[in-house]
Structure 1
């Protein structure tokens, strides 16, 4: 857990402004909703927010995106008195290449994230009274999507993202709005 967190902090520290030339690296902010398909689970919804950074040292088409994502799924089976809850708070950073086209702009990218997963089950009839488990896992991620200009500085995007989380793989369909600075 500490290794994953240290790796994430080291990656994010590389993005910290070191000079006035890099200080203007923030180029936009995205808000997104997700349909999450986790291994062995039905689909559920999540939310997220990310910044889009472009340090001057990179080519124009590459953006670095520190991201915070969260989802929570609960299930209740009344006849048996069973209630379960799963949640994931994710801190990550992705890099994406935006193809330089007019209008719709496709993009592809990859990244790394740390997932703080928690599960809680309350099933007294089965002998489980408020049983819980937490785990912190690192994952590689791959993404691809398309940006569509709306009006002025606002864009829309649709994205597919896959997190390679050991035992908890996640496929996400993300939709959101971008505000360009």
Structure 2
């Protein structure tokens, strides 16, 4: 799903909000950025290293049916765990879009992305050619997707990308029923050339 949804997404992570836009502190972002660094920036793309990291953490593997809810027919594995009463998901999507993502319910508003930048910037400094992608906004049914990030071409002819993606429900009835939160995900993706 990550590979099929991302078609040139996300500079929100690199853009500095206008001074008049108050930044929202997402209390989970420092923990999620640390998990993203450990699993998606350091262990990924070694699938076995990700499996071992998730086993060490004692998190719950998702069933194929649970993975399918998010990933549809894309080949993937996933895990879930509780973080202070909220469910956090980690997905490993298998090639041709090889990706690792951390997803959680986030605070609404323009996020202070300093914890993300603290792990993404050093990672990007290890390779040249990163370019910031323009912010992308799109609707898929009653879900609004905002995305941004950075991408580079790799010598094999493929690409590598780091994304931040926010999803919100736009259907007024669902929002009135309480579905007003944001699903935030940090993604590291490799696309074969």
> Under a length normalisation based on structure 1, what TM-score does the superposition of the two structures give?
0.35
TM-score w.r.t. length of structure 2? 0.33
Larger Rg: 1
Higher-strand-fraction structure: 1
Structure that is richer in helix per residue = 2
Q: State the structure with bigger RCO (CA 8 A, min sep 6), 1 or 2.
A: 2
